Homo-oligomer: A and B are copies of this chain.
Amino acid sequence: MIPELNYRLHIKGQDLIIAVAQDFETSEVLMVAFMNQQAFQETLKTGKAHYWSTSRNQLWLKGESSGHLQMVEQILTDCDKDAVILKIRQEGAACHEGYYSCFYREIRESDGELLLIKEKLFQPENVYGEKKDEDSS
């Protein structure tokens, strides 16, 4: 049975929920993306995170091109069921820029400057070649 979620966001003709990927062990938030019902079903069925790419407008198995799959351990949903948390084990790194988490920059509150706070784990061109954004949102 697929639970009834609230696909209330509408982007380019798709009905979507927000999906937050969170490291199962450390609780670090790795990325935020979208899911349509198909992506959610595929995630449940396979145990691998699937999203809906709003840039390519297609189903997106995370790690399809990079090998950086996300193995889903637990799924939570919120009070109005328009968002889910995927508690995952990340293979490689979540961010197509080469960082473990897409949230690798802090916004300094005093002046709004963006500060790099994480280390790069890989060079994107070595993983994605020329088409380094194939595995991004």
Contact = CB atoms under 8 A, between A and B. Distances in A.
Contacts of A137: 80
Contact of A77 (B1, B99, B107): B107
Interface string A11-53: 1000000101010001111011000000000001001000000
A107 to B, nearest CB: 4
Interface residues of A, number: 45
Given A76-B117, A102-B79, A111-B1, A18 B47 contact: no
A9 B9 CA distance: 9
9 contacts: A1-B111, A1-B113, A9-B11, A20-B29, A75-B106, A76-B105, A77-B114, A79-B96, A79-B104
